[in-house]
Amino acid sequence: MTYTVDFTNVSTTGLESSPVADALAGLRANEARYFKNKYDHVFTVEAASKQKSTIDWVHRILREERDLVIESKPLEATEFEVENFKMAYVFYESGLSINVMYSTDGPSKRAVGFKLSDGMDVPAELETRFKFARQKSKLAGTIRGSYFVIKGEY
């Protein structure tokens, strides 16, 4: 079932099994607000079981670009296009959110972003490989984030 993320009334729908469900819901709502304000896009997600191809695409990029395998279970994902970008998001049980921004008109803007929900530890597979900057959010508390540039074609 598709769930439209409400950034006014934040809900943990679909994220209940996460130990940081409230913070992860705030992080998801923060992303929904960004896309609504910047692109007038309504941010929707589906259960991971319904978004297998999206999750496989994200995991392939992680594996081939940085030899990364995420240990946490994916809970939800989404894929959509805005302007000239293919976007994909995967929200994990640990509180991790991974997004892929993939420019469709050339490699100039292609990246993978990691965001950590407030209260979660940095996953072991990312801990020694990335430095995380902090950002305050009214919806999500303190978000820690990092990214890398995609070099290959996917």
CB 140 within 8 A of CB 30: yes
Q: How far apart are CA 75 and CA 78, in angstroms?
A: 11
pLDDT one digit per residue (tens) for the chain, 154 residues = 899 999 999 999 999 999 999 999 999 999 999 999 999 999 999 999 999 999 999 999 999 999 999 999 999 999 999 999 999 999 999 999 999 999 988 778 999 999 999 999 999 999 999 999 999 988 898 999 999 999 999 9
Please state the pTM of the whole predicted model: 0.95
CB 152 within 8 A of CB 65: yes
